[in-house]
Amino acid sequence: HPRVWMGLLLWSVLSQAQAAWTVNMTPGATEVSRTVFDLHMTIFWICVVIGVIVFGAMFWSMIIHRRSTGQQPAHFHESTTVEILWTVVPFVILVLMAIPATKTLIDIYDTSESGLDVQITGYQWKWHYKYLGQDVEFFSNLATPSEQIHNKAPKDEHYLLEVDQPLVVPVGTKVRFLITAADVIHSWWVPALAVKKDAIPGFVNESWTRIEKPGLYRGQCTELCGKDHGFMPIVVEAKSQEDFAKWLAARKEETAKLKELTDKEWTLDELVARGDKVYHTSCAACHQPEGQGMPPMFPALKGSKIATGPKADHLNIVFHGKPGTSMAAFGKQLSEVDIAAVITYERNAWGNNTGDMVTPKE
């Protein structure tokens, strides 16, 4: 029958379109995400069946039955049987759908017995991850992605979804997330994990996941949070338990070293001496050993506005680079101690000996 064939054709086109565009939810990478996906599909098909029965009966009565018999619709005012039926049947269907949904919700809210606790804080426009009780914390992005846009070639679009440092978690471990925000409301969403929680200042939302396979899982901020809301990517990297332990140990060591340097009471001379080394390793190639530069390509730093003007401008250029020039952002390449050191060095070597010091904590 042609109508059957048309239906089948439409069905095949639609199902292929949905596969190509991934219009549907993802089954995800965890037990919870698969349960959520199955629930979604079950409820979807229940709705399809109800829709087919209700609209089918309606159109059949209105068109086919009426045309073939010529009968007028029956006129009656009330019917206890019909009223009981249309109350009880939907009630039973709703209860049947609510039972597995409630079970899943209870599961999602049960954050007890976690193997790792991570505090996630939303900032305009990056994420901060803190491994509770582990003394490890970092930002997902050093410069916000919109700041990076100005420092990168416009053709390279994938960096918009990249982070400097993903959230690293072990597989096969229940990881509890404590989600909050420092400025406005954000939302932490990773579809493959079926985790989506608002990050609200002054309030902690909880969630959890247990990832089965190592890999990268991507997400985005999903609460309109200001001009760069669209550039607040999330990357979760799941590592095997051994690899995670190694990563955590390395990260702890790095944090401890950095903390020691940051907490140190630097004297001006010490910081200038360190900055001297950093300058000659990272800056001298373009700006020359004595800060004389190679104008017009590489400006001289000696006696320049940069070395004598506000410290904040100077810091900003070293941190974020300079748009439209080959001055790279050193915010990722140098530690904050080294940035403080090199700026202190430049200001004191070529800023008319200002005795000006940038502390690592600035």
Cβ–Cβ under 8 Å, residues 263 and 157: no
Does the footprint of ligand CUA cover residue 358 (CB under 6 A)? Answer: no
Could you tell me the two tokens for 277? 């080394």
CB 184 within 8 A of CB 226: yes
| Sign of the CA dihedral running 143, 146, 150, 151 | positive
Q: Is 346 in the site for ligand CUA (CB under 6 A)?
A: no
**Using CA atoms, how far apart are residues 181 and 3, in angstroms rounded to an integer?**
55
The DSSP letter of residue 176 is E
Q: Which amino acid is at 253?
A: E
Q: How far is the CB of 130 from ligand CUA (least distance, A)?
A: 17
Q: Locate tokens 């995400």: which residue?
A: 33
Q: In the bound complex, what is the minimum distance in angstroms from residue 208's beta carbon to ligand CUA?
A: 21
Give the residue among 114, 104, 85 at the shortest CA–CA distance from 40. 104
Determine, following the binding rule CB under 6 A, whether residue 190 of this chain makes contact with ligand CUA: no
Closest CA to 214 of 189, 247, 187: 247
- Mark residues 231-260: x for contact with ligand CUA by CB under 6 A, - for none: -x----------------------------
* Stretch binding ligand CUA (CB under 6 A), from 64-72, 220-228, 309-317, 318-326: 220-228
Give 198 or 336: the residue with its C-beta nearer to ligand CUA.
Answer: 198
Residues 105-164 that bind ligand CUA (CB under 6 A): 122, 125
CB of 229 to ligand CUA, least distance (A): 3
**Of positions 221, 271, 339, 340, contacts ligand CUA by CB under 6 A:** 221
Give the integer Cα–Cα distance in Å for 167 and 127.
9
Minimum CB distance to ligand CUA, residue 180 (Å): 12
Q: Residue 217 Cβ, how far from ligand CUA at the closest point, in Å?
A: 18
Interface with ligand CUA (CB under 6 A): 122, 125, 186, 221, 223-225, 229, 232
